[in-house]
């Protein structure tokens, strides 16, 4: 099979603002999308799909049915950085690992998950 994820697409009230949040969160760059008026793209600097932000007139009204899990080795520092970028904490979790549910500036849910170094068994 030759199927792969080409892009993760977000509807956005302010595509420029939301793309900048995600670009800053991932250490990438946001730019206007070619051939899509008002849309922006983020191309991650590491492995991962393109992120596409499409302007839509209606606001987000319900919980996401799908969200991104961002993994980090520096959980405390990256949580503080995401909050400084405009993410809001929804809930902390410490069972079977440590992660936090956040909302981006337009209310889309995401998780920040602490990577735990593998131990020898």
pLDDT at position 93: 94
Rounded Cα–Cα distance for residues 16 and 98 (Å): 31
Q: Which of 111, 105, 67 is nearest to 88 (CA)?
A: 105
pLDDT at position 49: 87
Q: How many residues does the chain have?
A: 121
Rounded Cα–Cα distance for residues 26 and 8 (Å): 14
Please state the rounded mean pLDDT for residues 102-117. 93
Identify the DSSP state of 113: E
pLDDT tens digit string along 59-102? 888 888 889 999 999 999 999 999 999 999 999 999 878 999 99
**Cβ neighbours for 29, distance < 8 A, ≥ 6 positions apart:** 23, 42, 43, 45
- Per the listing, tokens 């991104």 go with 68
pLDDT at position 121: 52
pLDDT tens digit string along 5-62? 889 999 999 999 999 999 999 999 999 999 899 999 999 777 778 999 999 999 888 8
Per-position DSSP letters for 8-32, written without gaps between them? EEEEESSHHHHHHHHHHHHT-EEEE
pTM: 0.87
| Confidence bin at 120 (pLDDT 50/70/90) | low
Identify the DSSP state of 118: -
Query: What percentage of the chain exceeds 70 in pLDDT?
Result: 96
pLDDT at position 48: 79
Tell me phi and psi for residue 7, to 5 degrees. -160, 150
């Amino acid at each position: 099979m030759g199927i792969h994820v080409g892009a993760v697409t977000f509807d956005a009230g302010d595509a420029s603002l939301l793309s900048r949040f995600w670009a800053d969160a991932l250490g990438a760059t946001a730019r206007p999308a070619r051939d899509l008026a008002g849309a922006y793209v983020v191309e991650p600097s590491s492995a991962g799909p393109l992120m596409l932000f499409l302007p839509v007139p209606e606001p987000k009204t319900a919980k996401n049915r799908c969200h991104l899990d961002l993994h980090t080795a520096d959980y405390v520092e990256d949580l503080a950085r995401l909050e400084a970028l405009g993410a809001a904490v929804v809930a902390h979790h410490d069972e079977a690992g440590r992660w936090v549910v956040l909302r981006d500036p337009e209310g889309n849910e995401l998780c920040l998950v602490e990577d735990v170094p593998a131990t020898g068994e």
